[in-house]
Amino acid sequence: MAKRACNASVYPRKRDTSDQMIRRFIKKCKKSGIIQELKDRRYYKKPSELRNERNIRRKRAIAKAREKAKK
């Protein structure tokens, strides 16, 4: 996981409620990967576990690309 600075900020728009702003903020956090990184860092994972997860993600992406190319 790369260390990168990410300041998610949301500014109010015209006729914007606080609920809408909160929803926009949560969406920005999810898109930038802040929440997922927080969950991943909660517990220590051995380097071999990280490597295995990376390989599984890579294989899934390749399979998905092949399926898409087939159609």
Q: How many domains does the chain have?
A: 1
Asked if residue 51 is part of any domain, the answer here is yes
- Residue-level pLDDT at 8: 83
pLDDT in tens, the chain (71 residues): 456 667 888 999 999 999 999 999 999 999 988 888 889 899 999 999 999 999 999 999 999 999 999 87
Asked if residue 10 is part of any domain, the answer here is no
Asked if residue 58 is part of any domain, the answer here is yes
- Residue-level pLDDT at 5: 67
Q: How far apart are CA 19 and CA 46, in angstroms?
A: 39
pTM over 0.85: no
Asked if residue 45 is part of any domain, the answer here is yes
Asked if residue 5 is part of any domain, the answer here is no
Asked if residue 52 is part of any domain, the answer here is yes
* DSSP classification of residue 4: -
Asked if residue 13 is part of any domain, the answer here is no
Q: How far apart are CA 42 and CA 31, in angstroms?
A: 19
Asked if residue 8 is part of any domain, the answer here is no
Residues of the domain holding 35 = 18-70
> Two tokens at 50?
């990280």
